């Protein structure tokens, strides 16, 4: 008999490790496999919560690092927590800030105790411990909170990776200790760089501590796709099936399908939203670079097969005009479309798993992709 967890497994694919389930959080449940739009600064750029909901988003991600620097977790706590602050009533996951400290801040220095860095906004020195990362996320009041992990460059020598991975485990233990008895779900992060044995060692250590869910960190950092999938393959099976599995910062539609195939439940990535703002749009007939002059007089919708607000009301010509004119509406319409594309993909994946047709869905996906090329 397996313990009761936040995760309910509903369907298991026969041909693969894919599964369909749901995660229960203090602000409601969400269906998995799930894609979490990124709302870095307490807003998914350009969209309202109502829009996010209407395009099928059940959970959003926010960045602890950004909110800690501005407006400050104490401010958000005083105002009733992040849900109220940003007017989003559904589940929110916050990362711990580990990756942002590593990628955005200056003079980042990791010690046993925690990490010293300088704010990318003010330049002022800041010290963050695993305990503090938990305390900040408690103040934010989000539903799923993450352990503080250490980040390493890619590529990274074996010994250095091993040390960082072990430190991540020690910090994970401190995070669990620090967490108050409340309804927040705390996820552990499995590291180990690009070394299978370190990934497995990390999984063992993190599982030993015991969390509400498990994430794979330190992937999609520039390594070849095969290597990323290999790391996932080695690690995912070690996580008991009654826990949600989250792969951080992944990825493209293909990455998502391949990780779902391997048993991953949760994803987040800036790709749909960032690409939208750069005029790079996902469509059923392949990528569209909307500023391309070929769309100047194009009366067709961005994607004939898409039912999103943007495709129902606007032509490629208008989207191109807004983009080249740097109009604010451009970012918004593009973001609606790209997020709708990702969230529809997740809906289709879930349906396929429920129908026992995920292998077929995956095959068709690649066939379509080939035809588009």
Instruction: Give the footprint of a copy of itself on this chain (CB under 8 A).
Output: 41-43, 45-48, 70-71, 75, 78-80, 85-87, 296-297, 299, 309, 313-315, 317-318, 320-322, 324-325, 327-329, 331-332
Residue 266 CB, nearest distance to a copy of itself (Å)? 25
User: 268 catalytic, yes or no?
Assistant: yes
Minimum CB separation of residue 88 from a copy of itself in Å reads 10
Residue 77 or 163: the one with the smaller Cβ distance to a copy of itself is: 77
Rank residues 39 and 192 by Cβ distance to a copy of itself and give the closer one.
39
Let me know how long the chain is: 373
Catalytic status, residue 95: yes
Candidates 130, 120, 126, 224; CA nearest to 169 is 130
Q: Which of 99, 88, 212 is nearest to 142 (CA)?
A: 88
**Six token digits for residue 336:** 């609606």
CB of 33: closest distance to a copy of itself in angstroms?
27
Phi, psi values for residue 109, rounded to 5°:
-135, 120
Q: Which is nearer to a copy of itself, 245 or 332 (CB)?
A: 332
**Residue with Cβ nearer a copy of itself (29 or 48):** 48
Tokens for 300, please give them: 């067709």
H, E, C per residue of 66-92: HHHHCCCHHHHHHCCCHHHHHCCCCCE
Q: Report, in Å, the least distance between residue 311 CB and a copy of itself.
A: 12
Strands 34-36 and 266-268: parallel
CB of 49 to a copy of itself, least distance (A): 8
Across-strand partners of 98? none
Residue closer to a copy of itself (CB basis): 234 or 332: 332
The two structure tokens encoding residue 219: 């992937």
Check residue 154 and report its DSSP letter.
Answer: S
Whole-number minimum distance, CB 174 to a copy of itself, in Å? Answer: 30
Please tell me whether residue 270 adopts helix, strand or coil conformation.
coil
Q: How many angstroms separate the CA atoms of 190 and 198, rounded?
A: 10
By DSSP bridging, strand 28-32 and strand 19-25 are antiparallel
Tell me if 193 sits within 8 A of 156, measured CB to CB: yes
| Catalytic residue chosen out of the listed positions 13, 95, 212, 255 | 95
Residue 48 vs 347, nearer CB to a copy of itself = 48
CA-nearest of 208, 201, 197 to 172 is 208
Catalytic residue selected from 149, 212, 268, 303: 268
The catalytic residues are: 95, 268
């Amino acid at each position: 008999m397996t313990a009761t967890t936040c995760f309910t497994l509903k369907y298991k694919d026969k041909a693969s490790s894919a599964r369909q389930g749901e995660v229960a959080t203090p602000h409601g449940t969400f269906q998995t496999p799930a894609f979490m739009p990124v709302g870095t600064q307490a807003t998914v750029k350009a969209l309202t919560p109502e829009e996010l909901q209407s395009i099928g988003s059940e959970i959003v991600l926010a960045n602890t690092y950004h909110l800690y620097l501005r407006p400050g977790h104490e401010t958000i706590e005083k105002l009733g927590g992040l849900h109220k602050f940003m007017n989003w009533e559904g589940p929110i996951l916050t990362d711990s800030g580990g990756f942002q400290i590593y990628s955005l801040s200056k003079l980042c220095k990791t010690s046993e105790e925690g990490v010293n860095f300088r704010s990318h906004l003010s330049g002022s020195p800041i010290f963050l411990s695993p305990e503090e990362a938990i305390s900040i996320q408690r103040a934010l009041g989000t539903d799923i909170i993450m352990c503080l992990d250490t980040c390493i460059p890619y590529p990274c020598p074996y010994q250095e990776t091993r040390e960082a991975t072990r430190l991540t485990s020690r910090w994970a233990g401190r995070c669990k200790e620090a967490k108050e008895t409340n309804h927040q779900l705390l996820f552990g992060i499995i590291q180990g760089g690009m070394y299978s044995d370190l990934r497995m060692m990390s999984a063992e250590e993190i599982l030993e501590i015991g969390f509400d869910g498990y994430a794979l960190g330190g992937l999609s950092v520039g390594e070849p796709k095969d290597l990323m999938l290999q790391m996932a393959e080695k690690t995912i099976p070690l996580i008991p099936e009654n826990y949600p599995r989250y792969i951080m910062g992944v990825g493209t539609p293909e990455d998502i399908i391949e990780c779902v195939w391997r048993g991953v439940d949760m994803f987040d990535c800036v790709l749909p939203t960032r690409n939208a703002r750069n005029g790079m749009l996902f469509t059923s007939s392949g990528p569209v670079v909307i500023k391309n002059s070929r769309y100047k007089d194009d009366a067709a919708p961005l994607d004939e097969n898409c039912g999103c607000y943007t495709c129902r009301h606007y032509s490629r010509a208008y989207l191109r005009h807004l983009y080249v004119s740097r109009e604010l509406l451009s970012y918004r319409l593009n973001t609606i479309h790209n997020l709708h594309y990702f969230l529809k993909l997740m809906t289709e994946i879930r349906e396929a798993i429920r129908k026992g047709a995920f292998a077929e869905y995956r095959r068709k996906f690649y066939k379509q992709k080939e035809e588009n090329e």
